[in-house]
């Protein structure tokens, strides 16, 4: 059994750089669940259009599923995970009744997961131990050093390495993306005010 879809409302204008857009034909009904072949969970379609020879869907969680790569079903395979955002919004909006499914609901928020490559890689944030070995100030790893950069901007720095034993804690706002050296220590640059206080 298919479900009723919402209209594919958009805030976009009717043209793009002065040219008409092919909006396609809105779909009024669609499959209960859709997934991409490589996807890890089933989503629920919020709206859909028929365009370029196929039905594509906008999902309740904000993603899009194009008809070129799309699996659809009305009967969930047992045990396969569902997108928690889609499930909550679709049920909340009245598109379907809560099936009380045994399928697990999943949502993966951004978390402070340490990077696989130390943020000190290819930087000069190090204490030189010998002519080609340094200790990374971001993680404590003893790491080979080598020249990088171009002939006009040569740099002698750390090579790529996984985080060592004393990786600086991730900033709750910027994780490990905005680090710099302040007073000889690696820290998130949003802490500059504290460092000079
Ligand atoms: Zn979803
Ligand atoms: Zn490091
Ligand atoms: Zn920060």
- What are 4-59's pLDDT values in tens digits? 999 999 888 888 888 888 899 999 999 999 999 888 999 999 999 999 999 999 99
Assigned domain for 114 exists? no
- E strand or H helix at 91: helix 84-92
Expressed in percent and rounded to 5, the helix, strand and coil fractions of the chain are: 10, 35, 55
CA distance 36 to 100: 24
Q: Are residues 132 and 190 in the same domain?
A: yes
Q: Which ligand is nearest to the CA of 144?
A: 2
More confident residue, 61 or 110: 61
Domain that holds residue 88: 3-106
Q: Are residues 75 and 133 in the same domain?
A: no
- E strand or H helix at 192: helix 192-196
SS3 155: strand
Mean of pLDDT over the chain: 90
Q: How far is the CA of 187 from the centre of ligand 3 (A)?
A: 8
Quick one: what percent of the chain has pLDDT higher than 70? Answer: 96
Q: How far is the CA of 101 from the centre of ligand 1 (A)?
A: 16
Q: Are residues 88 and 174 in the same domain?
A: no
Assigned domain for 137 exists? yes
| Beta-carbon-side half-sphere exposure of residue 16 (alpha carbons within 13 Å) | 5
Eight-state DSSP code of residue 152: T
Q: Are residues 84 and 165 in the same domain?
A: no
Q: Are residues 134 and 102 in the same domain?
A: no
Assigned domain for 118 exists? no
Q: How far is the CA of 189 from the centre of ligand 2 (A)?
A: 17
Q: Are residues 24 and 94 in the same domain?
A: yes
Q: Which ligand is nearest to the CA of 60?
A: 1
Task: Determine if the pTM surpasses 0.85.
Answer: no
Q: Which ligand is nearest to the CA of 190?
A: 3
Assigned domain for 55 exists? yes
Confidence of residue 159 (pLDDT cuts 50, 70, 90): very high
- In the predicted model, what is the mean pLDDT of residues 108-117? 93
More confident residue, 197 or 114: 114
Q: Are residues 95 and 147 in the same domain?
A: no
Q: How far is the CA of 189 from the centre of ligand 3 (A)?
A: 6
Q: Are residues 72 and 141 in the same domain?
A: no
Closest CA to 27 of 65, 81, 61: 65
């Amino acid at each position: 059994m298919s479900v009723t879809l919402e209209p594919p409302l958009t805030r976009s204008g009717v043209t793009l750089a002065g040219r008409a857009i092919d909006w396609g034909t809105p779909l009024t009904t669609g499959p209960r669940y859709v997934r991409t072949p490589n996807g890890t969970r089933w989503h629920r379609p919020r709206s859909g259009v028929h365009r370029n020879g196929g039905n594509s869907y906008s999902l309740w969680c904000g993603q899009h599923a194009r008809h070129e790569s799309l699996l659809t079903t009305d009967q969930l395979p047992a045990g396969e995970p569902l997108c928690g955002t889609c499930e909550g919004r679709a049920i909340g909006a009245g598109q379907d009744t809560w099936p009380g499914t045994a399928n697990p609901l999943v949502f993966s928020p951004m978390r402070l997961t340490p990077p696989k490559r130390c943020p000190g890689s290819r930087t000069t944030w190090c204490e030189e131990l010998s002519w080609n070995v340094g200790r990374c100030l971001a993680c404590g790893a003893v790491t080979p050093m080598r020249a990088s950069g171009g002939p006009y901007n040569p740099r002698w720095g750390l090579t790529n390495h996984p985080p060592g034993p004393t990786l600086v804690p991730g900033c709750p706002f910027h994780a490990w993306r905005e680090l710099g050296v302040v007073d000889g220590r690696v820290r998130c640059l949003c802490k500059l005010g504290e460092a000079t206080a």
